[in-house]
Amino acid sequence: MKQGERIPPPEGTKKSGWRRSTGDTLLAIAGVAVVNGVIVTVNLYHHIPSVSLIYLLVIIALASTRGRYAAILAAVLASFSFDFLLAPPLYTFGFTRLEDELDPLVFLVAATLTGSLTATLRR
């Protein structure tokens, strides 16, 4: 076998594109929803200012098991969730201070890069 040549997966493990995308989408939504539930229920944001890093655990797990699409989708969902649920003013997408605007943006960039790099390492 030549270097760089890939071994094809067994026939029974191949899924069609839309089934895999649907599964990845559902896993990303569920993962972010679980983290949101934990953060809001336990009221972690007021105790731990960098609680948004918990989202990175979900993103890295999705990137290493499912791939780049699931990780990037989870990063986008986590960024919007963080802004909506945790950043003041609560339950809006508005910003009152510059740092409130930068937090979700920096998190989105860092999470997307982390997910992409993890997915690349997986391949």
pTM: 0.74
CA 109 from centre of chain: 11
DSSP string, the chain: --TTPPPPPPGGG---HHHHHHHHHHHHHHHHHHHHHHHHHHT-TTT-TTTTHHHHHHHHHHHHHT-HHHHHHHHHHHHHHHHHHTSSSTTSS--SSHHHHHHHHHHHHHHHHHHHHHHHHH-
pLDDT grade, residue 79 (50/70/90)?
confident
- Judged against a pLDDT cut of 70, whether residue 99 lies above it is answered with no
